[in-house]
Structure 1
């Protein structure tokens, strides 16, 4: 009798050979192509513009060679031209369309994402939480960003996980600590920079032992943006076993495993292309490229060859955890790149040092990018007014000297209190790049 490998929720899929994965992707692509062409107004309009029909697609290679890309601007343009709130993506309506989510809107107005009942986000989350250690009967703390997230959290019955929902807000930290003490959950999904800063402040104000309150958690998922050194030090002090998460191009999620060597991309639910950011040729395995995604299991509003604008390092080499699906490390957004005196700068270049001063240890900042190329790096930096050592002007000069040392670039610094910085974005993150 074959014994299931308990390390994986779905071992047959999670450890599938590369050849079998590609055969599965091709099978799903060939089913998807005629379906979306017939039902998605945006896909049909775009393909007709490029002279492509389903009859032209006989293989996965044909799909990659012939199907045109789509992006967020195309979805927004279709929405505005046709007064279609779904941007031409929707292939079906209710009751199969069970809800509509939206992107965060940190790089533009939010993109609508109609969802089916059993969507790829839920498939990915189940696998990721299983790897963290969740098993039937275990309790999960689920921090809610939106009402739609509450709908997802309600559908854990087939795993046997028991979710306890808490609003993702620093105002709800006392309740988060209370349920963590009383119910001893095994995993937390997911925490972010504002919540960690809120926990730090709560600890300071009340004397609460955060390490003890969270001691039952075998894994805490962190997402929304890269982790600043200050945030990482806090979670190490509290003994948080952290798994970083990112979005898989608005199709699903991608999360680190215990190897902490990249975030796993589930290639049975999304076709991942890793392309030259300035063209359409394949980027080198392990190198920098733009992520392009196609949703393989979404029959409500699938994204097809969607240029995400996300720059990633990506490899298809098997992971030491045993999984064979690809792994990615986010670098930033292509549209966020600022060129200062010919040098490329992304937020990930600022994260490692911006929090090294006592006043700026929270690591809150924005790159001011009114245009792509400039001769000076302009930053908005959050600071703790109570930690100010030698005045605002002196702090500005210290930050400028550090930027010169780290990046060899001239800079212009605008200071803003941490409380005001946090108000610049949605609950889980602030936009790290702003036009003004």
Structure 2
């Protein structure tokens, strides 16, 4: 099924011509930014330098740190009055990455979501429950507006209160859901505990964290639905960048809207189709915040073109990261964020360890941090207050619930080389 069959099934020559046209427009927009003007000057790039799609390799990469350095509006290519919405992603030192959208951007984004959902057979006859964060992260509103554009009935239930979520599914006859795969597994267990089935469900859209084929099978058996993988990145609009079709063998990335490269993360050189590397993306249809050769940090590969639905090359399921970012319950967390929070609290030291576990199919993070005896009395009541203070500071920065354990000074490991402060104990499912 197609939302826009003509654009989704463009022949290779027509697609390449459209990509080049949109790339040149994106390059023109990017020259409104001081960052890219300096990049172009340093690389000796002129307006006539980019004549073919292959010429994109002349352009330097854009990295996440560049976006952080541009906080708050340094990457907006249009006047602020044209930016009608702002989302943010987590930042490593307390400042988030800011993403802006014009009215056309929001329309384009919701259109991409509509493509994804239509591709797997979701229509205006469906009742859609959106069980993801509706805050500054992009997952909630992205799918919300795409679903409304199709015309389906949307239930913006957001996160939490699992029993109420289950009641809504049953009471409203929900046919399609969107959440993280770990939350979907938790949902199925709570439904079993409640002694209720979720018979109305037909389709599940799951993303924001890595998951495997065995998890897919378990979700489909427990929830009685067909499960699809979704991929997105706030810097590239949000969810909707790539999505599985009914074949469920790799994700279609919308090549009319995104120019995709796969590189060796160490050398920056292209790798061949079928070889894994870091995905680099140039969005071709963004107005407020054009990006050029953005290094996503996500490890995948381009798959050979041959899908029966004729939507072009797919990317393989994301298998890891080229940096130290963690994904906890769909939220991006960097160890440097945790360090930044702890350094603001004089009663604790600068030594800490992070443990990630999966308990009842939900990710849980525990932070062990040493007490600073020079700034702390050691009274039990004060220990409790300090523990609550650290929990609150981490929650306010990460927007994530954590468990905090205070330990004696000198009890945590010291590292001569690069510190390994994170131990991920989640088993692959």
| TM more than 0.5 | yes
Sort the Cα spacing of 1:117 and 1:241 in 2 relative to 1 into closer, same or farther, 3 A. Answer: same
**Aligned residue pair count:** 346
- Does 2:35 correspond to 1:50? no
Q: Aligned partners of 1:108, 1:78: CA distance in 2, in Å? A: 14
Is the Cα contact below 8 Å between 2:113 and 2:146 reproduced in 1? no
**In the alignment, structure 1 residue 28 sits paired with structure 2 residue 17:** no
Does residue 160 (structure 1) correspond to residue 154 (structure 2)? The answer is no
Matched residues in 2 for 1:291 and 1:218: separation? 32
Please tell me whether residue 91 in structure 1 is matched to residue 106 in structure 2.
Answer: no
- The separation in 1 between residues aligned to 2:94 and 2:265, in whole angstroms, is 20
Partner in structure 1 of residue 181 of structure 2: 192
**What root-mean-square deviation, in Å, do the aligned CA atoms of Structure 1 and Structure 2 show?**
3.7
Corresponding residue of 1:340: none
| Other-structure match for 2:205 | 221
Rounded to whole Å, the distance in 1 between the matches of 2:354 and 2:401 is 20
Q: Work out whether residues 3 and 119 of structure 2, in 8 Å CA contact, stay in contact via their aligned partners in 1.
A: yes
Q: Please, which of 382, 406, 409 is the counterpart of residue 357 of structure 2?
A: 382
1:384 & 1:155 partners in 2: Cα distance? Answer: 32
Cα distance, 1:311–1:157 mapped onto 2, change above 3 Å: closer
Counterpart pick for 1:272 among 260, 267, 272 = 260
3-state DSSP class of the match of 1:292?
A: strand
Partner residue in 2 for 1:101: 87
Q: Check 1:427–1:10 CA distance in 2 against 1; reply closer, same or farther (3 A cut).
A: farther
Task: Give the match for residue 111 of structure 1.
Answer: 97
Match of 2:133 in 1: 145
Q: Deviations over 1:397-425 (max 9, x none)?
A: xxxxxxxxxxxxxxxxxxxxxxx9xx896
* Residue pairs, 1:6-405, within 5 angstroms: 7-37=1-31, 39-62=32-55, 64-79=56-71, 85-86=72-73, 88-104=74-90, 110-119=96-105, 120-147=108-135, 151-152=141-142, 153-154=144-145, 156-169=147-160, 171=161, 173-201=162-190, 203-204=192-193, 206-207=194-195, 209=196, 212-213=197-198, 215-227=199-211, 229=214, 232-247=217-232, 250-251=235-236, 252-336=240-324, 380=355, 382=357
Pair 231,136 (structure 1): closer, same or farther in 2 beyond 3 Å: closer
SS, match of residue 2 in structure 2? coil
Deviates more, 1:305-314 or 1:108-117: 108-117
1:137 positional shift: 4.1
| Alpha carbons 1:318, 1:326 under 8 Å: kept | no
In structure 2, what is the Cα distance between the partners aligned to 1:117 and 1:195?
32
Q: Secondary structure at the match of 1:273?
A: strand
Cα distance in 2 for partners of 1:184, 1:311 equals 38
Q: 1:98 to 1:197 in 2, by over 3 A?
A: same
Query: CA offsets, 1:337-381, max 9 Å, x none?
Result: 9xxxxxxxxx99xxxxxxxxxxxxx9xxx99999xxxxxxx9935
Paired residue secondary structure (1:315): coil
Report the secondary structure of 1:200's partner residue.
helix
Q: Do the aligned partners of 2:180 and 2:206 also contact (CA within 8 Å) in 1? A: yes
* CA deviation profile, 1:304-353 (whole Å, cap 9, x unmatched): 1111121112225131333224333212111149xxxxxxxxx99xxxxx
Q: Deviations over 1:206-248 (max 9, x none)?
A: 33x2xx32x3232101112122656752442322311011225
TM-score by length of 2: 0.70
Structure 2: 5+ residue runs without aligned partners? 339-352, 361-390, 404-418, 423-429
Q: TM-score, normalised by structure 1?
A: 0.69
Flag the 1:32–1:157 CA change in 2: closer, same or farther, 3 A. Answer: same
* Corresponding residue SS for 1:167: coil
Structure 2: distance between partners of 1:76 and 1:239:
42
Q: CA, structure 1 residues 262+109, in 2 after alignment: closer, same or farther (shift >3 Å)? A: farther
Unaligned stretches of 5+ in structure 1?
1-6, 80-84, 338-346, 349-361, 371-377, 386-419
